[in-house]
Amino acid sequence: MLRELDPIIQSLVASFFTWGVTALGAALVFILPKNSKKFLDVSLGFAAGVMTAASFWSLLAPSIEISEQKFGRYAFIPVSIGFGLGAFFVHIADRLLPSCLTMDNSVVKILTDKMAGHDSTLPLQGDNDSKEQETTYSINNRKTDPLEGMNKEAALIAEQNYALSWRRILLLIMAVTVHNIPEGMAVGVAFGSIGKTHAATFESAFNLALGIGLQNFPEGLAVSLPLVGFGYSKFRAFLYGQMSGMVEPFAALFGAAAVIFMEPVLPYALSFAAGAMIFVVVDDIIPEAQQNGNGRLASIGTIIGFIVMMAMDVGLH
């Protein structure tokens, strides 16, 4: 049934599937304990293997074939340009995200308290009256009880740590969301390019969507699990975890439309998506899977994920 649909509709359906798998991964937070680091790391390793294999067989191989038809011995040039631009896009997005979150700690706390569903009582740093009252309160209490000043300083340090932790959580959510943009584009490009070359088939596009769905599974959990550890309810953590995949249908529509209506960009678009995905693997997913002491298990998961995706791509052609 999906095979007979318009490529844009195909990409939209496939991207809704990948979003659904993100939500399914985030839903694991309801059944897993807070400290399920080993399962998460193995899943991330598996996702890295799946994405690496999918990037080659479903994206780079068609890009190389199209380039060879148009550029002959210089086929590597458009493929290299697209691949490099894809990696550069994710790199720039990663560099820009921290600067977007360099706001005042008290503002971060108020924002994240509203997200968590409780009120913030921390005064803004720009509120001079609050500062003077706080200073007067601290001095008066130190006269009567020296421990009060120490407790106040400890409370301020705790507030700063709270804001810093939340900045990291927000960065994680935004980073996963940004990384889902090239993944959604990859799905759209794959379905939009069906029939353009021998390698660009419905099966390869379907396998790519399935592979991205598989790697989205641990990404959803990677967002929701830390939120529960930070004190969120499981339902609220699930909501924020699945939201990271909401951008994929929009990105898929853009990718499919781009290659359908601007066919000359096809080799660049395919290799762009591959470069973006490979950069995410080596810069984010693999380091994340290795940082909790489960590196060997994560590496085994990577090999298994690569073999599974390779078997699917080669076996279904």
186 vs 3: CA distance, rounded Å: 18
pLDDT at residue 306 in the model: 92
Identify the helix (H) or strand (E) that includes residue 31. none
Distance of CA 11 to the CA centre of its chain: 19
Residue 124 phi, psi (nearest 5): -65, 145
Please give the Cα distance from 82 to 88 (Å, whole number).
Answer: 10
User: What phi and psi values does residue 292 have, to the nearest 5 degrees?
Assistant: -105, 15
- Complete DSSP assignment for 71-101: HGGGTHHHHHHHHHHHHHHHHHHHHHHHHHT
What is the C-alpha separation between 223 and 216, in angstroms, rounded?
A: 11
Q: What are phi and psi of 265, to 5 degrees?
A: -85, 0
Distances (CA, A) of 281 to 49, 231, 234: 8, 29, 27
What integer pLDDT is reported at residue 164 of this predicted model?
56
- 45, 305 contact by CB (below 8 A): yes
Residues of the chain where predicted confidence (pLDDT) is lower than 50 = 103-108, 110-112, 114-115, 119-144
Q: What share of the chain is helix, strand, coil (3-state, %, to 5)?
A: 85, 0, 15
At residue 169, the pLDDT reads 61
pTM of the model: 0.62
Residue 201 per-residue DSSP state? -
Structure confidence by residue, pLDDT tens digits, 201-242: 888 888 888 888 887 887 787 778 777 766 778 898 898 888
Cα distance between residue 5 and residue 28, in whole Å = 32
- Token output for 245: 């995949």
